[in-house]
Amino acid sequence: MGSEERGTKTRQRWSAASCRRAFKSITGTELLHVPYRGSGPAVVDLVAGRVTMMFDATPSLLPFITAGQLRALAAASPQRHRLLPDAPSFAEIGYPAMDIALWYGVAAPSGTPQAIVRRLNAELVKILDLPDVRKNMTEQGADVQGGTAEDFAAFMRNESIRWGAVVKRAGIKAE
């Protein structure tokens, strides 16, 4: 996705640009997009005070929040984040549609035999259930959840519909 803002053409990280556009669509608030090559440099500038706010995932920001260098303003979820109980959710402050969960999934090429898909899924679920894996991910702010390939396919279809509506409302065009 590209940005034509401020007279430059840049590549944006999907999550930051999408969060900003969703925020504008839901709240009517215009925010200036400052393009970065990933969370790391953006977080450095946020901590240094060169930018005033950003949308990002909990794992990138949590160390700075717990150290008192940053303050979480709101969780982009229906409820407060379990590691940031003092930050309200957007739903609590009147914006329930601002529900933007970070998630990861594993996909295989279409046409992969179902026996292979089932085996990969079973092994990945076992890995997610390992106590050290679950503990490490949970401490970083993740909500660890396995499931079936069918559940994930349905989730992906719903996400495509949901974010397709955001893209359409924002007038975003493919480049």
CA distance 92 to 87: 10
The model's confidence at residue 41, banded by pLDDT at 50, 70 and 90, is: very high
The model's confidence at residue 74, banded by pLDDT at 50, 70 and 90, is: very high
CA distance 33 to 101: 20
Q: How high does pLDDT run on average in the chain? A: 84
Each residue of 120-152: pLDDT tens digit?
Answer: 999 999 999 999 999 998 888 888 888 899 999
CA distance 142 to 81: 10
Look at residue 71 in the predicted model and tell me its pLDDT.
95
CATH entry 3.40.190.10 includes domain 1-101: yes
Query: What DSSP character marks residue 3?
Result: E
How is the chain split into domains, by residue range?
A: 1-101, 103-162
Tell which wins on pLDDT, 6 or 23. 23
CA distance 137 to 144: 7
